[in-house]
Structure formats: C-alpha cells, structure tokens
Amino acid sequence: MIPRDQIVTALLAPDLLPTLSEMDWDLLIRQARRSNLLARLAHLLIQNGQIEKVPNSPRLHLFSALRMVERQDVAMRWEVDCIQNALANAGVKITLLKGAAYVMAGLPAANGRTFSDIDIIVPKKHVAEVESALMLNGWQGTHHDDYDQRYYRRWMHEIPPMRHVRRGTSIDVHHAILPETARIKVNTPALLKAVVALPGYENLYVLKPEDMLLHSATHLFHEGALDNGLRDLFDLDSLLRHFGDNPEFWSALVPRAIELGLTRPLYYAIRYTTTMLDTPVPQAVINAAEIGKPPLGIASLVDFCYLRALRPTHDSCNTPGTGLARFALYIRSHWMRMPFLLLAYHLARKAFLRPKQLPVETALTTKEG
Amino acid sequence: MKISEFTEAELESRLRCGALLLNLGPFVARLNSDVVSIARDIALMYADFHTSPENTFADFHVKVALDTGLRRWAKPQVRFYFDGRPSFIPLPADQAFAMLEWGLNWCVAAHSHQYLIIHAAVIEREGKAAILPAPPGSGKSTLCAGLVNRGWRLLSDELALLDMDSDLIYGMCRPVNLKNVSVDVIKQFAPAAVFTASVPDTTKGTIALMRPPVDSVQRMNQPACPAWVVLPKYTAGASPQLERHSRARTFMLIAEQSFNYDIQGSRGFDAVGRLIDQSQCFQLTYSRLDDAERVFDDLLAGRIE
C-alpha cells in the first residue's frame, strides 16, 4: 500500500492541521507548492476559519499563493470578457473548458486553482471563423513551421495556441476533446449539443455537469506529463463531490459516458479519486463504471503507474518505481494519441528534423519555462 | 549560533547534508551544497549572520551542486536547485556563490507576495529609509555600497520588501553585488570593506560581493520607514546634482521596478501611492561617491527642501 502524502491528508482532513509541528509544515508547504495546491490549501483553511492557527512562517506562504490566484481569477474574468466580445458575432456557441469553466460557473473546483491559459471548444466546421475573429481582435497564431501547422490542423483536436499581442495571454481553440488520431473515438456532436448557457453572458457556454467531469477525466488520463496530476485529480474529486449532491448526476453519469464513448476515463477517474482521495461515490455507480475497466493485466499495470505518478512531483514522494511509472505513462499517452506508424513518423521528425525556432517563439518559450 | 562560530570544515559538512539554516531577516533559507568554495564564501560574507536549529521551518530549500559526469573534471559547472528542482541554466563553478545569491533573490521575488517587492537598494539612517530604485547600470549598488560604509544601514542592495499593512520596508541585509569598475571604486572608497574574490566573465561582467556591515546585520530584523526615493544616475565627470523628480513618474518607476505589482492589484496601487506620498522624490546625478555622501547627509539633516 502506498502511503498517503502530507498534502493529500491536509486537504482531506484540514481539522488536523493545527496539530502539525514546524517540520510537518515545512514538508507540507513544499509538497503543496510543487503540486500547485498551495492556494487551494490556503482557501480551505480560510473557509474553515483555521488559517490564523497556522504558524506565522508557513501562513505567509499560504497567503502569498492565495494572492497569486486571486489575481489570476480577476485576470481570467477579464480575459473571458475579451473573448466574449471578440466572438460575440461569430455565430457559434463558445464553450469554455476546464479552469475557465470552473471559474465562470462558480464551481468549488475553481477555489485556489492556478491556470495557464483559456481553453474553448467550438464545432469543427466553425473553427476557421472563430480563428479569424480572434485574429481580428489581436490574437496571433503560434507554431508557424509547416510541419507543426499540419500536425495541429490534420491530427490534433485543437488549432495551434493563439496568443494575444498586447496582453500575452493564450487561448487554445479546440474542436474535439481528444486528437483526431486518438484510439478512443469521442461523440463530439453529442457533447456540444448539450452545453449549458453561462448566466450573464450572451454567447458563452460550459459543458453540462456529467460532461464536465468526463472531459476532466479524459484530459487527465490521456495526459503524458503529470506535473499537475494530483491537482487534476483534486479537480475530479471536487466536481464529483459538488455535482454529487444531485442524485440525477449519479444516475446520468455512466449512461452519458457510454453515449460519448468515454467509459475508460470515467473508470479511471472513479478508481483513483475513491482510492487516493476517499471521494464519496455511490456503490452502484462504482459497479456500473466497471464497464470501462481495462482487461485485468492492464488494469493492474495502470494501477501500478497511476498510484505512483499521481503523487506530488516532490522528492519526498518518490519511491523506486516512480520514475518508471511516469515514463510508462508518458509512453502510453503517446500510444493513445495516435497510431503507431504515425507516432513513429512524428517522433522521428521531431528528433531529427527539429527546425530552428523563430526568435520570437524562443523568447516566449524561455519566458514560460 | 553565528556563522563565524563554525569552522570551515563544519560549514562544509553541514552544507553537504543540507543542514545549514541561514536567517535572512524575514526568511530562513536551508542551504545545501557540495561546492567547497561556497562554504568559504559563506564563512566570509555571512560571518555575522545567525543560523537556525535543524528542526526550524525553512522558507526556501536551495541547493547549488556540481554537475556530475566527465565535465566535472574538465570544466566544472554548478546548477541551482529550488527544493530539488533544477532552475536556471548551469554556470561555471567559480560562479557558485554568485549563483546562490541570485537564486535566493529569485526565491524571494517569485514566492513572497505578502510583500510588494521592488527592485531597489534600501539604506536607512536615524529611522529614515532611502529607496534607490533603478534599472541595471544606474549605479544603485555602488551608491548603496558606498553609503553603507559611511554610517548608513544596509537593508538591501537588490530587493526592497514593502509590507503593505504597516508601510514599512524590510530587508535581508545580504552581501552587496558589485560589478566591473565598481569593485575597485568601493575598495578605494572603503579600504576596510571585505570582498569575495572577483569572478570574471559572468553575464553581468566581472563581479564581487561585499560583506554587509556588522551593525546592519545585527539590526536585520528591524524594518524602516521610507522617507526618500532617490534615483541614482552615474554620469562620468558630473558634479553632484539633486533634482526633484515628479511624483507621478516616480510612482510609475516603482511600479515598473516591482516584481509583483501586477499580482497585488489595488492593494499594490494604494501602497505605492502611500509610499510616494510620504517620500520626497529626487534624481541624483553624480560621479564621485564623496559628493553623493554629502548630498545624503544634507537630505538627512533636512537641508534640502
């Protein structure tokens, strides 16, 4: 059995925090920072009225992280307004995904969460209009190399990320939730048909609760770099706990996963939130979700990997198998992303024919790093 | 226990197992390094600083380590790690201590949003602090190093930590980073000052660090109340000239020179506003440190309206 890490215990049982020693706090703050969960911890402590019981030094780190996400929240809302204005007349429903959706829909998953960019999804046939409307309003394409363009436009589920010339903010325009080449085929039309209008906005939508959970799960369990793995697992936990107040959510969840073709990610989501984060899920739903369980041998391999790789990317959470698990999941994510021959071609191309980056892109990449 | 109470061998072994906790004003840094020259430079530069016991909460866990592999023997490089994760590109091993200093600055600037962090030197005398904000190359570190050898207290030569609740400025009193000709200028101006060996060919040119004055280190935890914002401008051969600087422009300069003004939102705006309201704002053109010292004496004595 893999031990529970300090940051997980802290987020699940914040009442125990006042009993921590100085060295417990030392490790907790480091794990929380590395997992991008420091502000979430701060938010929880404020909600519980316990922040004042935290010793002074760690408390300042919590406040510092909180200040950062409060600022991001303001910036995110402003950016969403800009996107809404740019796309008001695009003649197509604009659906926000992930972090932006959690913030704008006022979900608890947004509490203390950090963001890097905004993701939207539109029907594939409208991508060109959306792209040009964004360009007219100051967003510029990136990845100008011919190969990268083809990579995104032919095989991926999104166009190359766009960056606003003045604000430097990024937007990812998707038309599906998985690459066109992925092994799992998703029923995107059904997903986009069921979107929910965002109150107060003319043309902004979010996915309906079941779909939001399924998308979040699909994203996490197809991701190769799990630097934010634990944070994303807490997103799933928060969505399940929040939407789970409504019994209709539970009865709709598995049937919807079947309809969209997302039973496998749903199985993983339920498996790892319940195992690692004690997320309350009705037994009937756990049983029904077994429909997405992979064959036994694979299931235990995947278990070996995720139970290690979803822990904080911190020295204190590394065990002898951690590196192997992360590497295996990285390979797996590529394996699921595209057929083998295409993958081989893509990797060979990236390895041997790496084009010179444009100076401006180099500068931007460095800044991000 | 003070750094000067350790032998160099003790410092080395503590650094090797990451058990040296250095008190830096509002922060505690836990240091780890296998680079011998770092132990020597810490002994030299941080002699008067206190350490904390091993079971103390550390704000920043940092490590400067030699890269492994063949390179270690031919052209050794050091790398900076923030809590186990490599950050920044590696540097030649003779820049190890400078890398530790720059790395610590980054740790504070990137993670301490409880303060408004301004890229500025801060010195204090008789309870009044002067903030010297400036883009690189304006001579703020030189001026700061000069004045702290003539009775002014050093708070910082690089990062002013403005507490937005009390409007007081905190410093860490760390070694002063001097570049190129400034090193010799200060050595002549203050022959008693202690320096690290000069390191050539860094990204900032030839650099050396100057040990902070004992009195400043002893008072490291005392914040100071800002009284002046002075923009230094070194101009070769110029006679000293202190001119009023527009409050609006000074406001903008402070905001631009702040690492986290954008994160603070309206709190930051209000805090910079109060800082400018309570300070006299000047631009000082100078070429000789003796002239600058006289100008600051005049400021302190209230001889300048």
Asked whether residue A120 falls in the same domain as residue A191, the answer is yes
Q: Which domain holds residue A214?
A: 208-338
Residues A117 and A38 in one domain: no
Q: What is the DSSP letter of A310?
A: T
By the CB < 8 Å criterion, does A68 face chain B? Answer: yes
Q: What confidence category does residue B163 fall into, taking pLDDT thresholds of 50, 70 and 90?
A: very high
Task: For residues A109 and A199, state if they share a domain.
Answer: yes
pLDDT over 70 percentage in chain B? 99
List B32's β-bridge partners, or say none: B63
- Give me the residues paired with residue B156 across strands: B122
Q: B207 near B198, Cβ under 8 Å?
A: yes
User: Which residues from chain A sit within 8 angstroms of residue B85, using beta carbons?
Assistant: 34
**Are A30 and B61 inside 8 Å of each other by CB?**
yes
Shared domain for B102 and B90, answered yes or no, is yes
Torsions phi, psi of B302, nearest 5?
Answer: 75, 25
**Alpha carbon distance A138, A158 (integer Å):** 19
B220-235 in b/e form (b: 16+ CB < 10 A) is: bebbbebbbbbbbbbe
DSSP run (H or E) holding B232 = strand B225-234
Q: Note whether A17 and A50 are same-domain residues.
A: yes
How many domains, chain A?
3
Indicate the residue type of B52: S
Residues B28 and B96 reside in one and the same domain: yes
User: Which among B87, B111, B135 is the end of a domain?
Assistant: B111
Instruction: Point out the residue among B55, B85, B111 whose CB comes nearest to the CB of A23.
Output: B55
Segment 261-280 of chain B within 8 Å of chain A by CB: 262-265
* Same domain (yes/no): B159, B63: no
Contact B265 A315 (CB under 8 A): no
**A44 and A97 fall within a common domain:** no
Does A115 touch chain B if contact means CB atoms closer than 8 Å? no
When divided into structural domains, chain B yields a total of: 2
- Residue A37 inside a domain? The answer is yes
Tell me the C-alpha distance between A81 and A198, whole Å. Answer: 12
The whole-number pLDDT of residue A356 equals 54
Interface test with chain A among B114, B261, B262, by most A beta carbons within 10 Å? B114
Of A22, A33, A60, the CB nearest to B114: A60
A-chain residues near B262 (CB < 8 A): 71
Q: Does A30 touch chain B (CB under 8 A)?
A: yes
Question: Could you report the per-residue pLDDT of B211-224, keeping only the tens digit for each?
Answer: 999 999 999 999 99
Phi-psi map region of B18: left, alpha, beta (phi>0 left; psi -120 to 50 alpha): left
A131, part of any domain: yes
Distances (CA, A) of B12 to A144, B99, B210, B212, B257: 51, 17, 21, 22, 37
Q: Which two tokens stand for residue A190?
A: 């059904």
Q: How far is Cα A155 from Cα A334, in angstroms, rounded to an integer?
A: 13
Q: pLDDT tens, A231-264?
A: 999 999 999 999 999 999 999 999 999 999 999 9
Minimal CA–CA distance to B16: which of B4, B37, B31? B31
Residues B92 and B202 reside in one and the same domain: no
The DSSP letter of residue B95 is G
Based on the fold, state whether residues B147 and B100 are members of the same structural domain. no
Q: Given the DSSP bridges, would you call strands B20-24 and A196-197 parallel, antiparallel or unpaired?
A: unpaired
Q: How much is the pLDDT for A359?
A: 45
Given a cut of 50, the residues of chain A with pLDDT beneath it are 358-369
Which residue on chain B is closest to A60 by alpha carbon? B114
Any B CB within 8 A of A64 CB: yes
- Write the residue in B55, B57, B263 that is nearest to A57 by C-beta: B57
Q: Is the pLDDT of residue B144 over 60?
A: yes
Residues B35, B60: one domain? yes
Percent of chain B with pLDDT over 90: 86
Alpha-carbon radius of gyration of chain A: 21
A54 to chain B, closest Cα gap in Å: 12
% of chain A beyond a pLDDT of 90:
66
Domain, as residue range, for B119: 115-301
Please tell me the predicted confidence (pLDDT) of residue A331: 86
Question: Is A352 part of a structural domain of the chain?
Answer: no
